Structure 1
Amino acid sequence: MEGHVVTTNPWLVMAINMTVVFGVLICLGFLMKLIYIIDPTKKKPVKAETVVPAPATESTKSVEQPVATSNDEEIVAVITAAICAMGYSSDRIASIRPAISNSWKLDGRLTGRT
């Protein structure tokens, strides 16, 4: 049988090739699932510790400490609205972070605008 063609039927060749291709894809899918399950870089879930507040005394009841709040969400919303008003969509905004300098003039010079 050396040098003889096993089959000349194109449908059989196509079926064999597709079986091999999809078999390899299924094996790769299982391998990806396995790697996802045993992923060593996945962060471990942090168990929430229950903190029992200390009983309040008379001296701590009269003094209220101010609660520190940040307006980061409001600032991001305003910046996003301003960028959208300039014609960009909110999907194109990758990140919003504070600039290195607080000076608009210096920032313009650094970016090449005069």
Structure 2
Amino acid sequence: MGGNEGTMNPWLFMTINMVVVFAVLAMLGLIMVITHKLDPTKKKSKEPVNVAPAAAPVTAAAPVVANDEPVVAAITGAIVAMGYSSDQIASIRPSETSRNWRLDGRLSGRI
């Protein structure tokens, strides 16, 4: 064939391409970190954020209404999936700000 045989080596070609791709990815990651730190649109918190300690296990559970057992089971399962034990759940009650809970309560005659 003749010519420069070194430029036709597929391993060299692959190595150069991989170096270029990972260098570009590293540069983009660095740009993202710098942008995240210098973000002018981020709201500044004036109050220091305090991390609350983990909830202590509760011995008595709140009474469960028979109609809400599937809902309570789903909520408990989701909380346990987040890493808490079922003993740490103090109570599950509807939020006063949740429109769906209020509507459910009105429709069932509880509110």
Q: Which TM bucket (shorter chain)? A: 0.3 to 0.5
Task: Compare relative contact order (CA 8 Å, sep 6+) and give the higher one, 1 or 2.
Answer: 2
Q: Which has the higher helix share?
A: 2
TM-score by length of 1: 0.45
TM-score by length of 2: 0.46
Larger-gyration structure (1/2): 1
